[in-house]
Copies of this chain bind each other. A is one copy, B any other.
Amino acid sequence: MSLDALDTPCLLLDRARMERNLARLRARLDGAGVRLRPHLKTAKCVEVARRMMDAPSGPATVSTLHEAEAFAAAGVTDLLYAVGIAPQKLGRVAALLRRGIRLTVLVDELEQARAVAAASADVPIPTLIEIDTDDHRSGVRPDDPRLLRIGEALHAGGAELCGVLTHAGGSYDCRGEAALAAIAERERAGAVHAAGRLRAAGLPAPVVSVGSTPTAYFARDWSGVTEVRAGVYVFFDLVMAGLGVCSVGDVAIGVLATVIGHQRDKRQIVVDAGWMALSADRGTARQPVDQGHGLVCDVHGVPYPDLVVARANQEHGLLEVRAGSNAPLPELPVGARVRILPNHACATAAQHPGYVVVEDGQVVTRWPRLAPGW
């Protein structure tokens, strides 16, 4: 089937680019001797997950219990829910554990630890303590006295204390290789230090889980780390390209859109992909190169020079040549097709029911995403 036959907007997945992205991280981590626990929240797709994981059983990371339940139903038995647990969710966690799914949860407060311990009466709940290594979001700092109190509450209370987890989300705001290498080392060192404190206190900490796509690529030392988490590396996006983690030519997903009009006096082209198809994510706005709501390519994924989605309404995108550029506005009549690369793959993919998988300019298959919800 040809791309011409597709209804637009729809989400294209360029299989060759994805396979290259998968192979690249695998080669890097195999070389370092560290295990990958891929994050499935970017793709939320069983077919993509199977290509990211070592085995159909995992290991893998998820961002919601809905993902955990859906991937468990698809045969994944080793899952990490990498968002701090709400006590109200422990019933669903326990139900998965009773079915033989090893689902690890995350805590960073004493009240959470006590709730997890209290829910561990039947099956001890595998639990990691979240460490804040970059002052970015959540977690206890590596030196925080609360770390040991949380560990003790879990261990003595009957939960299965597995160790520590950290996510250097601050890496998304780093500029340059040196800064990325530095935050990767901070992520590693902080997590290893926290695990060491637990062990010194006689508490178990077999797992030291770190990761983000930028730090996975810029880390120079993995000493003490037992697993790396990364998700967006499977597709990449313009934010990652802006960070230097990949090139624009590595971005494996893009929104196929159709030209529906022109405002010729304003040098604008109107397409049928707005924020509903692209997401409202403007992650490149704070990068040196602002890609608007997406970078516009031909249907094969080759960018038009400096052509971006300058504005997006619900179902309209307005294409313009970037301000300050001398690039020509391409001739794209009504009915012409473009492929728009996303700022943020996780956000753009979340707007679509599934992936139209393309290879050599042809549609080869379709892969559904999980149904929306939590």
Contact = CB atoms under 8 A, between A and B. Distances in A.
Contact of A86 (B260, B281, B373): B260
A262 interface: yes
Given A315-B83, A316-B137, A353 B373 contact: yes
Contacts of A334: 86-87, 109, 111-112, 115
A83 B344 CA distance: 25
Contact of A281 (B112, B261, B262, B275): B275
A89 B260 CA distance: 11
A272 to B, nearest CB: 6
A83 B282 contact: no
A30 interface: no
Interface string A309-340: 00101111010000000000000011100000
Contacts of A258: 86, 88
A83 B270 CA distance: 10
A279 interface: yes
Contacts of A350: 276, 351
**Copies of this subunit:** 2
Interface of A: 7-10, 41, 63-65, 83-89, 92, 108-109, 111-112, 115, 132, 137-138, 169, 258-263, 270, 272, 275-277, 279-282, 311, 313-316, 318, 333-335, 344, 346-347, 350-353, 371-374
A372 B353 contact: yes
A134 to B, nearest CB: 12
Contacts of A83: 260, 272, 315-316
Contacts of A333: 111
A344 B313 CA distance: 12
Nearest to A316: B137
B316 A138 contact: yes
A8 B346 contact: no
A273 to B, nearest CB: 9
Given A8-B86, A8-B374, A86-B259, 5 more contacts: A84-B270, A111-B333, A137-B318, A280-B347, A372-B372
